[in-house]
Amino acid sequence: MQDSRIYGYCRVSTFLQKEDRQIIAMQEFGVPYDQIFTDKQSGKDFIRPAYQELISILRPEDTLVIQAIDRLGRDYQEIGEQWRIITKEKRAAIVVLDIPLLDTRQKDRDLTGTFMADLVLSILSYVAETERRFLRKRQAEGIAAAKARGVKFGRPGWEPTEMFYTLVPIWKKSDISAREAARRLKIDTKTFLTFARRI
């Protein structure tokens, strides 16, 4: 039987964000650098390349380390389902560095400890999801109130200029690209094409 292994999973929402802090925390915990998987993607679902690869190689008694529960995902039901897959189907352990109670390693915890970890996860995930729904509701109410006061949202509409009408025939003859025409007009290519195709 192969020895159990320890893996780390990091996630940041965009390519502009850095995962350095998460990686350092995992290395300090003992996760080898080459066994840390990273996604630069939103946490709205679990269709993420690195996460899917990691789940596919997890074996019984392996350990998955994450820094915080929101690095796993944002949706309460999805987090609960992935927790179940990892701990019940894969029979691997999970360690959440920011919350010591969320540690399901069997060698260190009895059945009660594992139950407590599952319970704490459920409570935390529920609270996080409730807060997100409350925030979305408050945002929607704020936008509705602002609209009622006459506040306009979104970018102001672009109006074709004399230069636009000069560039469209040139674009139609393929003497200039839509991208170049848009650059000269200081608008995006989609806006240029939307207006140009109406002529």
3-state secondary structure 106-159: CCCCCHHHHHHHHHHHHHHHHHHHHHHHHHHHHHHHHHHHHHHCCCCCCCCCCC
- Residue 148 falls inside a structural domain: no
- Residue 179 falls inside a structural domain: yes
- Maximum pairwise Cα distance, the chain: 77
Given a cut of 90, whether residue 63 has pLDDT beyond it is: yes
Is there a single domain that holds both residue 45 and residue 119?
yes
Does the annotation count 13 as an active-site position?
yes
User: Worst-scoring range by mean pLDDT, 26-40, 80-94, 156-170?
Assistant: 156-170
How high is the mean pLDDT of the chain?
83
Count structural domains, the chain: 2
Indicate the residue among 81, 114, 129 that finishes a domain: 129
Is there a single domain that holds both residue 76 and residue 34?
yes
Owning domain of residue 33: 6-129
- The token pair that represents 159 in the structure block: 């109006």
Indicate the residue among 83, 105, 129 that finishes a domain: 129
Is there a single domain that holds both residue 83 and residue 174?
no
The residue from 13, 56, 122, 174 that is catalytic is 13
Residue 99 pLDDT grade (very low, low, confident, very high; cuts 50, 70, 90)? confident
Indicate the residue among 129, 153, 187 that finishes a domain: 129
Given a cut of 80, whether residue 134 has pLDDT beyond it is: no
Torsion 147-150-153-158 (CA) sign: positive
- Residue 136 falls inside a structural domain: no
Is there a single domain that holds both residue 17 and residue 70?
yes
Is there a single domain that holds both residue 115 and residue 175?
no
Given a cut of 60, whether residue 64 has pLDDT beyond it is: yes
- CB-CB contact of 30 with 87 (8 Å): no
Query: What's this model's pTM, rounded to 2 decimal places?
Result: 0.60
**pLDDT at residue 1, as a whole number:** 45
